[in-house]
Structure 1
Amino acid sequence: MFIGIVTNLVLDGVRGLLDSLLGIIVPFLLLIVLYALRMLGAGDVKLFSAIGAVLGVRAALWIMAYSFLAGGVIALIILIINRNGKERLMHLFNYLKTVFLTFSIQPYTNFEDKDGKAVFRMTYAITCGVMVFFVEVMLKMK
Structure 2
Amino acid sequence: MPGTSETAPNDTVSEPCLRGDAALARAFTFLGKRWNAVLLGVLGRGPAGFRELSRAIGRISDSVLSERLAELTRAGLIARTVDEGPPVSVSYALTDCGGALMPALEQISQWAQENLPPEGRRQAGE
- Do Structure 1 and Structure 2 share a fold, with TM-score over 0.5? no
Larger Rg: 2
Of Structure 1 and Structure 2, which has the larger fraction of its residues in helix? 1
Of Structure 1 and Structure 2, which has the larger fraction of its residues in strand? 2
TM-score normalised by L of structure 2: 0.30
Q: Which has the higher contact order (CA 8 A, sep 6+)?
A: 1
